[in-house]
Every structure is written in C-alpha cells, then in structure tokens.
Amino acid sequence: AQKITQTQPGMFVQEKEAVTLDCTYDTSDPSYGLFWYKQPSSGEMIFLIYQGSYDQQNATEGRYSLNFQKARKSANLVISASQLGDSAMYFCAMRERGQNDYKLSFGAGTTVTVRA
C-alpha cells in the first residue's frame, strides 16, 4: 500500500500568490513525522519543513507552512508569496517511529511552476 500520496503531478502558480500542495499518508503507527523536501531542476534535495504527529500546532518555516489535519491524515504544504525560485519538484515524506524510524517513505512528488 502506498504510504504517501501526492495527487497533483503538476501545478502552475502566479508569482506572489500562494500555492497548496496536497499530501495524504497512511500509517497505523501513532508516532510519526512528516517532511517536505524541494528538488530544483539541478537535482539536489533540500529539506523544507517538519511536522510531528504529536505536535499541537501547524509547523511554519518562513514562507512555508504545513496544514496538518491528523484525523484526515493529510499534511499539505502551503507556500506563500511564491517566487520564481520556488519552481521545483516537491516531495512529501514520512518516517514512522516503529521499528524502522530511520526509513523515509516518499510520495511521487508535485512539480510547481511559478509564472512571472
């Protein structure tokens, strides 16, 4: 079964607008962490933001914020005030506490293109 689902293969957003990237996950482990990574066209993987399953508040990191809805098992990434440099592939990933709490499971990614 797919642990991480990202249903939007590609999105366009106008510069300075906000964009929301969807991520749903599947786990029976009560303790887990959710991560978002950015992969620009140059190929490197850049860590953006983290949300823990027991965190009471939604994570924020600069222009990035997480809309964490635990009951719905979703952890959507919101990028505010989009910039041209935000054009990239974005991956949602999960790490479950269980026995393999080092193993990241990734979604298929969402490509974001920011238009001037």
Partner 1 sequence: NAGVMQNPRHLVRRRGQEARLRCSPMKGHSHVYWYRQLPEEGLKFMVYLQKENIIDESGMPKERFSAEFPKEGPSILRIQQVVRGDSAAYFCASSPNQGVPGQPQHFGDGTRLSIL
> b/e for 2-28, b at 16 or more Cβ within 10 A?
ebbbbebeeeebeeeeebebbbbbebe
Residue 34 or 79 with smaller CB distance to partner 1: 34
Give the one residue of 13, 50, 58, 63 binding partner 1; rule: CB under 8 A.
50
Task: Please tell me whether residue 100 binds partner 1 under the rule CB under 8 A.
Answer: yes
| Minimum CB distance to partner 1, residue 7 (Å) | 13
Task: Please tell me whether residue 116 binds partner 1 under the rule CB under 8 A.
Answer: no
Residue 37 or 114 with smaller CB distance to partner 1: 37
Extended beta strands in the chain, E state: 4-5, 10-14, 19-21, 24-25, 32-39, 46-52, 60-61, 64-69, 74-79, 88-96, 105-106, 110-115
How far is the first Cα of the chain from the last one, in angstroms, to the nearest whole number? 39
Which amino acid is located at 39 in the chain?
Answer: Q
Lay out the site mask for partner 1 across 14-43 (x = CB under 8 A, - = otherwise): -----------------x-x-x-x----xx
Residues binding partner 1 (CB under 8 A): 4, 31, 33, 35, 37, 42-47, 50, 52, 91, 93, 100-109
